[in-house]
Structure 1
């Protein structure tokens, strides 16, 4: 029972004796550290792992100091050089007054740590045109136009659907220009209520209203650099009017202030709808549109540049291989077909989320299969398996059509359950014997357990 508990418990367990040799090392910890227990048990811990922290191994420290430590973070490397980050509960083991070893209970936060580090890198990263992934003529044309905008200080309007990478273009323009040493300030205009956005944009002086303090607005914070206003069309007409005045006069007055202050800021604005429609329907002032669109960039949606899909897919697989310590080689032919046929309403951002989600569903596979994709992709494949295109069944009988549709559907369910007969039979509402009969009838061979 003790051995069964050690193998099934969902935390790592590691114990060493007074010589620092491992005497207990359970299955969960071997998964966390990507080590075979035979490589660890009986070996001095310092010969198997390399500890980068100044304090060294938390197990050695607990034994040497005789103190318990709870929720202590530790980063170290296994013998293959793979970095691991854990949260440990470590304590000495005593026999009377003597310390005879140390025991550690471990939770893996390697993936969480990598995600945090990735977010920190992304938060401070300075993107350039080289970071815009794609080979399609449509995308290259937009990049070419954006590069020309680097040479000037004119306002830029970037139009594109959600998830197409508008901020990537904005940062690239800023970082390629002479303003790159200056700040790049970004604000989503739809993320805050109108009562707050005015003070955030233009700044406030103490006493202007209850609770008001002397505070720089975004225009003053972006002095000498670039201010990106995302979803500009969500601003009210009054705020758009004041924004137009700031652009024209190149000066800003804080809320409650009597004097204006000169500013040197390049403005880049983004919209996720056609600006002509926004002007016609009153969501965007015509004069502000003309002022902003001195340089206008229209980023195409992913469905209009499907040549970029394989390149983007490979890029995101590589990204999450590094982040998740995986070795995914690509996508299966069936998965590629579904990705290509999809209309991608969320564009590149949605593609990234699909790849990330699929890789979270994988275990030891080296390619993303249909079963790893979100449910709506799997349902689409199931519908296509049951109802093929008319052209594909034009010259076959109804009997043959039904035979092929049943075969494809049963095979899909078997693949989904890794050819486990009992699980597949339960999903299909069949007995084990009935499924085996159908497999024989349909010519499906059992290839996995």
Structure 2
């Protein structure tokens, strides 16, 4: 029996040491008895700095705050999902999200355990983003001469005359924030703050307080802190990738947009706000609503002005202009004198599907310039390997359709073979996106799905 308990003890110790969350436990006096590897890494401290020492002698806490471990120990209550900022013995700031609970034996509290997730870097990133409210872009920075892009720019410029909410829809890399900043810069709110927050970059436990603000005492470690709506007063708030925001938080956001008032977490006071909200999503709003990524009522509230930014593959005419602009940009950065791209490279660019859109094209130009020696023209062999290895270069022409060369093959067989190849290549061109492929083929989504089933085409 003792041997079995010894094995289990060793097993528990090994598990605690190897888990990917910080674990810190104190005894009834507040002295550390468990301090695992992940916690040591998060707090940049050695075991001997903390183990068997009083927490109050090792760590420093912000004014009017104390250790959640000690609070749980003293109050005998579980503390769930609380953000805490404190300092190690060298004064280095640490921010964690904690779940803390007391341990009782025979009804008496004998210890407390804290399970912590490190969000230090994320917290600093948020603060830096909030300081960087200056807009750098106007409509003149949006590069392209295609009719599709010109139409979106014209609509965006009309949106500068009002304070209506704006929803910008576009794939990753199409330049949604560029449009948002341009609308702000040329609106009556240009002298007010422009604050941007990526909703996908933060966990729910952080984003709620950041959006709406917090009131001192609302939860352990909470301080009086204005949220993004208050900080954007008189200006514009950009909520990037809104479809990544938790549905419950979307309901709170809807209430703020409807009432034009915000209430901090834990607060009772309604604070009037004068903020224009611009939101972006990277998927079709109909799909986002259907997949429960976006509340329908929030969609209608935001989509007073809706901008659909076309992907790069749907405006090939902009590619030469973009290529020229990116070469010019990196010529200056790298002190080069590259004059352009070869006809082969340009032809490849115009046939490529560009899943990463303009951002991907810029990356390819930058990467290619890094491979040049003294050449002044980007050739195909200068492109990054992942583009060169595809010998077909993602061509989509009628020459790629193969016909069965068999006298016994009927017309219906030939047509079926042609139809299957044509649909398969169109699907490949549009990254197996059913709706976009159907639109390109000029048929309904249901019709395309029927044909795929009949021709045994799988994606």
State the TM-score bracket (shorter-chain normalisation): 0.5 to 0.7
CA distance in 1, matches of 2:134, 2:366: 22
What SS does the aligned partner of 1:381 have?
A: coil
2:217 aligns with: 207
Contact 1:335 1:370 in 2 (8 A): yes
2:321 aligns with: 311
What SS does the aligned partner of 1:270 have?
A: strand
What SS does the aligned partner of 1:377 have?
A: helix
Q: CA separation of 1:384/1:312 partners in 2, compared to 1, >3 Å: closer, same or farther?
A: closer
1:243 aligns with: 253
2:334 aligns with: 324
Q: CA separation of 1:125/1:265 partners in 2, compared to 1, >3 Å: closer, same or farther?
A: closer
Unaligned runs of 5+ in 1: 1-121, 395-449
Root-mean-square deviation (CA, aligned residues, Å) is 2.3
- 1:193 to 2:203 alignment: yes
Q: Among 179, 192, 197, which residue is 1:182 paired with?
A: 192
1:336 aligns with: 346
CA distance in 2, matches of 1:301, 1:175: 24
1:276: Cα distance to partner? 1.0
State the number of aligned residues.
271
1:279: Cα distance to partner? 1.1
Contact 2:348 2:393 in 1 (8 A): no
- 1:285 to 2:269 alignment: no
1:281: Cα distance to partner? 2.1
Q: Among 143, 156, 169, which residue is 2:153 paired with?
A: 143
1:234 aligns with: 244
Q: CA separation of 1:125/1:267 partners in 2, compared to 1, >3 Å: closer, same or farther?
A: closer
Q: Among 267, 270, 274, which residue is 1:257 paired with?
A: 267
2:167 aligns with: 157
What SS does the aligned partner of 1:296 have?
A: strand
Structure 1 or 2, whichever has the larger Rg, is: 1
2:371 aligns with: 361
Q: CA separation of 1:272/1:390 partners in 2, compared to 1, >3 Å: closer, same or farther?
A: closer
1:168: Cα distance to partner? 0.5
Return the TM-score normalized by structure 2.
Answer: 0.57
1:171 aligns with: 181
1:389: Cα distance to partner? 5.0
CA distance in 2, matches of 1:160, 1:256: 36
Contact 2:367 2:384 in 1 (8 A): yes
Deviations 1:313-356 (A, max 9, x none): 00000000011111000001111121111100000000001100
- 1:273 to 2:273 alignment: no
CA distance in 2, matches of 1:266, 1:369: 46
Deviations 1:206-230 (A, max 9, x none): 2211221111100011000000000
Contact 1:157 1:297 in 2 (8 A): yes
Contact 2:211 2:228 in 1 (8 A): yes
1:236: Cα distance to partner? 1.4
CA distance in 2, matches of 1:358, 1:251: 50
1:381: Cα distance to partner? 3.4
CA distance in 2, matches of 1:340, 1:367: 17
Unaligned runs of 5+ in 2: 1-131, 405-459
1:176: Cα distance to partner? 0.4
CA distance in 2, matches of 1:163, 1:326: 26
CA distance in 2, matches of 1:125, 1:172: 8
1:380: Cα distance to partner? 2.1
Contact 1:185 1:222 in 2 (8 A): yes
1:124: Cα distance to partner? 4.8
Deviations 1:270-313 (A, max 9, x none): 00001111112221111111100010000000000000000000
CA distance in 2, matches of 1:381, 1:227: 45
Contact 1:370 1:377 in 2 (8 A): no
1:93 aligns with: none
What SS does the aligned partner of 2:223 have?
A: coil
1:350 aligns with: 360
Contact 1:229 1:270 in 2 (8 A): yes
